[in-house]
Structure 1
Amino acid sequence: MPNDPQRRTTEGLRRLIMFSDAVVAIAMTLLVLPVADVAGKLQVQRTFLQAVGEHRNELMGFIVSFTVIWVLWRNHHQIMENYRNYNSTMFNVHFAWLLSIVVLPLATALISNDQVPWADAFYLVVLAVAIGSLITIARQGARHRDLLVDDDDVRAGLAGWSGVGTLLALVVALVITLVWPSVGSLPLLLLLIPGPVNALVTRVRGG
């Protein structure tokens, strides 16, 4: 048993990040399994383009979710680069973030199946949990400056990061999906909006 359950060390932070990276890597690998399974079940001779056309939903689900997990990991990486230590909130919120990452391959498989109702809504909820968790982790730096690397640029950069725009886009997409489920995965395109908007705002402020 540890002598001090409140002990927080740099080594502990390193292990938390390494564990998170490992979980993300496994989740990204699992995404390809349904696609590989589809390839193994082809019984009739097909050209490559015919096979892709017949299973475009599975392939698009793989590409979209691989990209989503990559973006989530990249944001997590950029946020954690600012920290030299962590607190219990950051540690516990990682549970929700990693759970959402692990569930994404399941959510991807569901949206690739036209017979599963509300699969798109479930996918959006999983994404909302992931992004909300990242926002919470980032906010800990604004509230507890002693956790950050001792650098003014780091403090300013973390304070300026916000996934709120993406979270709002997810909420709007979820409402659209619940009201008009026939639109399928099209509301996910709303997630493309916050990035360019945030970049434009940052450029205007810097100018």
Structure 2
Amino acid sequence: MEDVRSRYKRIFDNGSDTDRMVFFSDAVFAIAMTLLVIDLAVPEDRHGTAGEVLLNLWPNFLAYVLSFTIIAINWLGHYRRFRVIKTHDSRLMLLNLTLLFFVALLPFPTSLLSSYSGEAPAVVLYAFVVGLLSALQWAMWEYSYRKGFVDPSVDDGLFRWVRLNQLVVPVVFWTSIPIAIFWDGGIAMWSWFALFPLNIIVGSLSRRY
């Protein structure tokens, strides 16, 4: 006979859909994106011209645009994958909550980066969190497919293609961490632009494969 713990896990841990996970995740993504704008505040002392204020705020605006784009890309990937992830268990829920923890945290390293642009601790923290977002999305996709939660229309080739493309961001951002620590934080930030050509290259190669 099935014991109580086994029945609890079977009834309460496993779900036949992912609707509530998706709705909750959407809310966290939206709140995190909204919190990013807090750093774009006009100084209250009103010294200098409007042009000087805008010039002084450009690092904040750049950090805002960067982080908004990163959260938007992560939300879009999350939305697309959960169109084919049909069921879940407690481990997938835990992975999703861990992802949302770092999504909600991103406004802090963004603020630190805008205030201390180019300084190694700020660059390292930011690069670590951004890379971790994509790594967690990779882990959720890998786990969901291995457990059979993904719609049968996703075959092995499509699964591998999505998985491979998710590794580009962690590689670029985590590679910048030793550059910031042992060389220069500003150069490490410039290295993030390698994301664009690398995405094109990996996408092209993976489609051929």
TM range (shorter): 0.7 to 0.9
Aligned to 2:63: 61
For each residue in 1:105-163, what CA deviation from the matched residue of structure 2 results, as whole angstroms up to 9, or x when unmatched?
00100001128651110001111221111010010133122x11132x46542332122
Q: Does 1:125 align with 2:125?
A: no
Task: State the distance in 2 between where 1:89 and 1:58 align.
Answer: 37
Aligned to 1:161: 162
Aligned to 1:192: 196
Q: Does 1:21 align with 2:26?
A: yes
Q: List alignment gaps of at least 5 residues for structure 1.
A: none
Deviation at 1:59, TM superposition (A): 0.5
Task: State the distance in 1 between where 2:37 and 2:155 align.
Answer: 36
Aligned AA (1:56): W
Aligned in 2, Cα 1:96/1:196: closer, same or farther, shift over 3 Å?
Answer: same
Q: TM-score, structure 2 length as denominator?
A: 0.84
Aligned to 2:112: 110
Task: State the distance in 1 between where 2:198 and 2:146 align.
Answer: 24
Aligned residues: 197
Aligned to 1:140: 143
Aligned in 2, Cα 1:127/1:186: closer, same or farther, shift over 3 Å?
Answer: same
Aligned AA (2:190): L
Aligned to 1:180: 183
State whether residues 132 and 170 of structure 2, in contact with CA within 8 Å, keep that contact through their aligned partners in structure 1: no
Q: List alignment gaps of at least 5 residues for structure 2.
A: 1-6
Deviation at 1:77, TM superposition (A): 1.4
Task: State the distance in 2 between where 1:6 and 1:53 align.
Answer: 58
Aligned to 1:10: 16
Aligned AA (2:66): V
1:37-116 counterparts in 2 under 5 A? 37=41, 39-41=42-44, 43-44=46-47, 46-47=49-50, 49-114=51-116
Q: TM-score, structure 1 length as denominator?
A: 0.85
Aligned in 2, Cα 1:81/1:156: closer, same or farther, shift over 3 Å?
Answer: farther
Equivalent position SS for 1:121:
helix
Aligned in 2, Cα 1:41/1:6: closer, same or farther, shift over 3 Å?
Answer: farther
